[in-house]
Structure 1
Amino acid sequence: MQRRQFIHLSSLAAGAALLPGCAAISSLTTGPLIDRHVPKDYSGVVAVRKDARSTLVTHASGLALREEKQLVTKDTRFLIGSITKWISAVTVLRLVDMGKLDLDAPIGRHLPELPAANGAVTLRHLMSNRSGIPNGLAEALRKDRAVEKLEIGPVEAALRFGAGAPGAAPGERWDYSFTNWVLVAAVVERATKKTFTEVVEELVLAPAGVRDTSFAATGYEDEVGMAVAYGATGERKSPAVPPMVAASGTLYSTARDLVAIADSVYFTKLLSDKARKELSTVVVASEDYALGGKVKTVTTKKGARSLAWEAGAIGGYKSLLVYDPLEGRAVVLLNNTDMQQSEQARIATALFSSFDE
C-alpha cells in the first residue's frame, strides 16, 4: 500500500519558535514512570512532562499501519476527536478578545437565516452544549449515512441541520451535540469572512508554532506520517471527516504539538486573562464541562489540582490531554486501537500523580 506524501496546511507556522524553557522536547528512553503505568501492548504515543521548565518525555509503541508493519513514532499524527472542540473554543475566545465576537450575543446577528428561536442562542450556549437546538446532523446521519460524505461547509450545514425547533430553552439542558459546533464554525466564518479552518490556523496553530497539527481531509489515512485507526478485532476503524464538522473533531496532531498549544494558551499572551478564565470556568458541573472541554480536579499527595482535561474519541482514535495551567505539568495519550476512554483516564491520572510521589 503506497501512502501519499503528507502536505501540511500550517506552513506559515513552520519557523515559529517554541516557548523559552519548553524547547527541549525529545523522545528520551522510556523511563520507569511510563513503564509502570502504560500497558506493554499500548499502540500509540504517551508523553509526560513534570512542569513547563522540564523536557517532554515521549514514548511511542505499536503500529501506525498494520498492513505494512509501520511503527508508531513520536512524530506520528493521530486524529484527536473532541480535543478539537477545545481548540475551537480557544479560537472563538481569541475573536472575542479582538472584538469580533461576543459570547453572550444572539448568533442570529451572524446567521439571520435561522429561525428566531435558534438565532436567540449564544456562543456560550453552543460551546457549553446547552443550546437546546436539536442535533439535526445526527438525525440526518441516522436516516442516511451518505450525509457524512457531503462536501459542504459549516454555514450551509448550519442552515440545513441547525434550524430544527428547540427542544429546550437555551441554557436549560445539556446535550453533547456536534450540531452545536457546526453552528459555532458558521458564526466564525460569517464574522471573519474566512473559512473556519483558516481562522484556527491563523489565530491558534500558527502562534503556537506547531508543525504537525491541522484539519484532516478525505484520504487522510493514506498520508505519510498518519496513524490508521483499528477496531478491537483488527478491522480499520477510521472515520469520515466532512468539512462541516471541522470545529467538532477533525483535527489531527502529535503529543508534542498538543503540549505546545496548551503552553501557548496558558503561558503566553495568546488569550487575555478574562478569556483564559472563561476557558477554565465550569459551566455544567455534572459534566465538569467549561467551554469546549472539561476542567477536572485531581488530588495528588501535594494537594488538589484543577486541570484542563481534554478528551477525544473519533472512530478508533482515542486521545487525552491533561494539563495543569499553573505549572505546565502535562500528560498526553494518543491511541489508534479504540481503547476505552476510562482506561486512558486511569493511566493519565496515574502518570500525572506519580510526579508527586
Structure 2
Amino acid sequence: MHFRPSWLGTLCLACTLALLSGCAVLDKTAGTRLIERHAPGDYSGVIAIREDAGSSLVVRASGLAVREQAQEHTRDTRFMTGSVTKWISAVTVLRLADMGKLDLDAPIARHLPELPAASGAVTLRQLLSNRSGVPNGLQEALRKDQSIRHLEIGPVAGALRFGGGALNARPGEKWDYSVTNWLLVAAVVERAGNRPFTDVVEELVLAPARTRDTGFAGSDDEEAVGMAVAYDASGTRKTPPTPPMVVASGTLYSTAADLVAIADAVYRTPLLSDKARKELMTIQVASEDYALGGRVRTIATGKSTRALAWESGVSGGYKTLLAYDPRDGRAVVLLNNTDMQQADQGRIAIALFNAM
C-alpha cells in the first residue's frame, strides 16, 4: 500500500483555503453529540459531519478496526471505499475531457481500436452511467473460473479480454451495473493519459485535493498499518481480492477527511470546469438516481431540498457513504467495517443532514 504525504497539487488552492477558513458553527462537542444521537450504539467505524465549507469537520471514531488485536478506530483509519472509486474515476475522465484528451460522446474505439466494432462504438458517457450494452464478460468468466479473481493483468488487457462480447442491449438503453464497464473506462484513461490509470488519478485528482491517506489497494493491504479490517455479521473477515484490472471500479482506500477534501476540490475549486461539474450532477438514469460514476439524491431538509452528490460503496464488509451538498459544502461521511446495510447508512446520513 502506498501512503503519500500531503503535498501541494497542480492547482492554486488559495480559493479552497479561503472557503475552508472561518469559525465552525457546529463545534466539536456539539457535533460529536449529534453523531452519537443518530448513530447506533454498536457502530464500528468513522462518522464525520460538516455544517458547511466554512466549518470544521467533526469526526467520531468508535469500535474496533482490527478485532484480533483490539485495535480501535481513529479519525485517520483507512477504509476500502468500494464504488466511491467509480465517482473518482468519473472525475478523472472529466478532467481529461476538460484538457481535450477525451470526449464523453465519442466512440471508445478512438482509444481502443482493438475492440470489436460493436463494443468499440460505445461512448464514455454510456460506460460512466452503466448503460453501454456491453455484457459483463468478467462476471461471466468468474462463474466458470474463480481463479480469475487473482489474475494480475492491468485494465487494458482486462478490457480487451473481457469487454468485447456481443452487446446485450442497444447502447444507452439498458442499465447494467457491470464491472466490465469500468474495465473499459480504465483502459481508455490509460491510453489517453499514456500511463497507468493509478498515476493519472493521482496526478489529476488526488494530488490537487491534497489527500494524505488515499490510494489504490493491493492484495496485501488488509494487513497494512492504519487500515481497518472488514468483518461480516459473524465476525469473520470479509475482504475481497483487488485484481489490478478492476482498479477503476472499487479498489480505492481513503479516510473521512480525505473524501471530504476530494469533494471540496471537485465542487469548490477550479479542478473541473463548470460544464464538467454539471455533467457530474446530471442524472442519466432516473430510476437509479445515477449520474456519471455515482448518484445524485435529493432530500428534504426543513423547508428546503438539497441535491446531494451521493457516493456509496461496498467492498466485502466495508460500507462507505459520502453525501455532499455542492452548494455549501455540507457533508456527511460514514465508513463502516462490519458489513452494515447501505439503507441504514443512508438513514443515518439523512438524519444528520436534517439535524444540522
Q: After TM superposition, is the score higher than 0.5?
A: yes
Determine if contact 1:27/1:58 at 8 Å carries over to the other structure: no
Counterpart for residue 336 of structure 1: 337
3-state SS, counterpart of residue 67 of structure 1:
helix
Determine if contact 2:8/2:208 at 8 Å carries over to the other structure: no
Question: 1:20 Cα shift?
Answer: 2.8
Gaps of 5+ in 1: 1-5
Structure 2: which amino acid aligns with 1:247?
A
3-state SS, counterpart of residue 271 of structure 1:
coil
Determine if contact 1:28/1:59 at 8 Å carries over to the other structure: no
Does the alignment pair 1:59 with 2:57?
no
Question: 1:290 Cα shift?
Answer: 0.3
Structure 2: which amino acid aligns with 1:53?
G
Question: 1:23 Cα shift?
Answer: 6.1
Does the alignment pair 1:289 with 2:290?
yes
Question: 1:64 Cα shift?
Answer: 0.5
Gaps of 5+ in 2: none
Structure 2: which amino acid aligns with 1:60?
A
Q: Deviations over 1:198-248 (max 9, x none)?
A: 000000000000010000011001110000000010000011111100100
3-state SS, counterpart of residue 19 of structure 1:
helix
Distance 1:110 1:60 in 2: 44
Distance 1:20 1:151 in 2: 44
Q: Deviations over 1:146-189 (max 9, x none)?
A: 10101100000000000110000100100000100010000011
Counterpart for residue 133 of structure 1: 134
Deviates more, 1:294-303 or 1:86-95: 294-303
3-state SS, counterpart of residue 134 of structure 1:
coil
Structure 2: which amino acid aligns with 1:97?
D
Distance 1:144 1:197 in 2: 27
Q: Deviations over 1:88-131 (max 9, x none)?
A: 00000000000000000000111111110000000000000000
Distance 1:342 1:135 in 2: 26
Counterpart for residue 323 of structure 1: 324
Structure 2: which amino acid aligns with 1:201?
E
Counterpart for residue 298 of structure 1: 299
Structure 1: which amino acid aligns with 2:160?
L
Distance 2:33 2:224 in 1: 33
Determine if contact 2:19/2:53 at 8 Å carries over to the other structure: yes
Distance 1:336 1:184 in 2: 28
Q: 1:1-357 to 2 correspondence within 5 Å?
A: 7-8=2-3, 10-11=4-5, 13-15=6-8, 19-22=17-20, 28-29=28-29, 31-355=32-356
Structure 2: which amino acid aligns with 1:20?
A
Distance 1:20 1:194 in 2: 34
3-state SS, counterpart of residue 172 of structure 2:
coil
Deviates more, 1:15-24 or 1:222-231: 15-24
Counterpart for residue 3 of structure 1: none
Question: 1:27 Cα shift?
Answer: 10
Question: 1:142 Cα shift?
Answer: 1.5
Deviates more, 1:89-98 or 1:132-141: 132-141
Question: 1:7 Cα shift?
Answer: 3.8
3-state SS, counterpart of residue 165 of structure 2:
coil
Structure 1: which amino acid aligns with 2:83?
S
Aligned pairs, number: 348
How well do the aligned residues superpose, as a CA RMSD in angstroms?
A: 1.6
Distance 2:303 2:93 in 1: 34
Q: TM-score, normalised by structure 2?
A: 0.95
Determine if contact 2:64/2:71 at 8 Å carries over to the other structure: yes
3-state SS, counterpart of residue 202 of structure 2:
helix
3-state SS, counterpart of residue 319 of structure 2:
strand
Distance 2:246 2:143 in 1: 16
Determine if contact 1:149/1:242 at 8 Å carries over to the other structure: yes
Structure 1: which amino acid aligns with 2:221?
Y
CA change 1:106–1:147 in 2 (3 A) is: same
Determine if contact 1:21/1:54 at 8 Å carries over to the other structure: no
Identity, % of aligned pairs? 68
3-state SS, counterpart of residue 20 of structure 1:
helix
